[in-house]
């Protein structure tokens, strides 16, 4: 039997089976409570400005460099993430990154979680970073560190010894169930942590800070 050109065209135009489902996203709100102190270290606007000024000057920066007196109170304030409405916040990506990292524990592909879990922002700070509203009162934490040059330095950072938050998670329901999401966030809180000194810090084994648990009733 011979195949005509018309047969070829009809075959090409025949409807194909759909193999990709439409995205199915759902949102769940989870109450968390800190089980260890939470410490922030925002890269301040002043530090960014100094970096830009130094780069503009080039080699002249070494000649004109002078050391200003350190304002510890101001560095403490500058290390906080403050929303445009004036409340303290936690960078929303902190929770997302922690959940993605926790996937290693349960054998779920981190690349899939990266495309499937998102944190809804309660607001934004002055430079546009998305924030989750932080409940609690900070105090000064005086830390002793070494700069990249090896010189010892004193840092004042905000520490919340008692803190909590409501985290709203938007997730791909074709990849996760609501229970999966809650359990993954719980593992992120108990094994990864957020903020400075967290167990999953890239620079060290951390201080055990930034750990949290899911509050009953979520």
DSSP bridge pairs for 155: 143
Instruction: Give residue-wise pLDDT tens across range 8-17.
Output: 566 666 667 7
Going through 23-151 in order, the beta strands assigned E by DSSP cover 25-34, 38-39, 89-91, 117-120, 123-124, 130-135, 139-146
Contacts of 178 (CB under 8 A, 6+ apart): 26, 28
8 token code pair: 């070829």
pLDDT of residue 17: 77
How many of the other CB atoms lie within 10 Å of CB of 210?
29
Residue 64: pLDDT above 60?
A: no
pLDDT of residue 157: 94
Confidence of residue 44 (pLDDT cuts 50, 70, 90): very low
User: What pTM was estimated for this model as a whole?
Assistant: 0.80
127 token code pair: 């430079």
207 token code pair: 């201080």
Residue boundaries of the structural domains of the chain: 19-42+79-214
Residue 63: pLDDT above 70?
A: no
Give the Cα separation of 199 and 207 in Å (integer): 7
45 token code pair: 């606007």
206 token code pair: 């951390």
Distances 55 to 43, 69, 213 between C-alpha atoms, Å: 17, 22, 43
Instruction: Give residue-wise pLDDT tens across range 180-200.
Output: 999 999 999 999 999 999 999
Give the Cα separation of 97 and 1 in Å (integer): 61
Instruction: Give residue-wise pLDDT tens across range 137-196.
Output: 999 999 877 666 667 777 889 999 999 999 999 999 999 999 999 999 999 999 999 999
DSSP bridge pairs for 125: 83
Q: Which long-range contacts (CB under 8 A, 24 or more apart) does 199-206 make?
A: 200/98, 200/101
């Amino acid at each position: 039997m011979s195949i005509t050109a018309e047969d070829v065209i009809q075959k090409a135009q025949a409807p194909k089976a759909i193999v990709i489902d439409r995205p199915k996203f759902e949102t769940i709100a989870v109450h968390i409570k800190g089980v260890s102190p939470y410490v922030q270290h925002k890269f301040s606007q002043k530090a960014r400005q100094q970096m830009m000024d130094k780069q503009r000057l080039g080699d002249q920066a070494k000649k004109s460099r002078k050391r200003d007196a350190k304002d510890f109170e101001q560095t403490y304030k500058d290390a906080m993430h403050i929303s445009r409405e004036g409340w303290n916040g936690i960078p929303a990506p902190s929770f997302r990154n922690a959940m993605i990292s926790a996937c290693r524990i349960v054998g779920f592909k981190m690349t899939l979680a990266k495309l499937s879990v998102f944190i809804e922002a309660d607001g934004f700070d002055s430079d546009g970073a998305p924030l989750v509203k932080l409940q609690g009162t900070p105090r000064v934490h005086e830390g002793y560190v070494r700069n990249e040059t090896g010189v010892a330095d004193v840092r004042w950072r905000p520490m919340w010894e008692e803190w909590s938050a409501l985290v709203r998670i938007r997730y791909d329901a074709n990849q996760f169930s609501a229970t999966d999401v809650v359990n993954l966030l719980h593992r992120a809180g108990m094994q990864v942590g957020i903020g400075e000194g967290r167990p999953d810090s890239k620079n060290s084994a951390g201080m055990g800070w930034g750990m949290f648990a899911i509050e009953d009733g979520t």
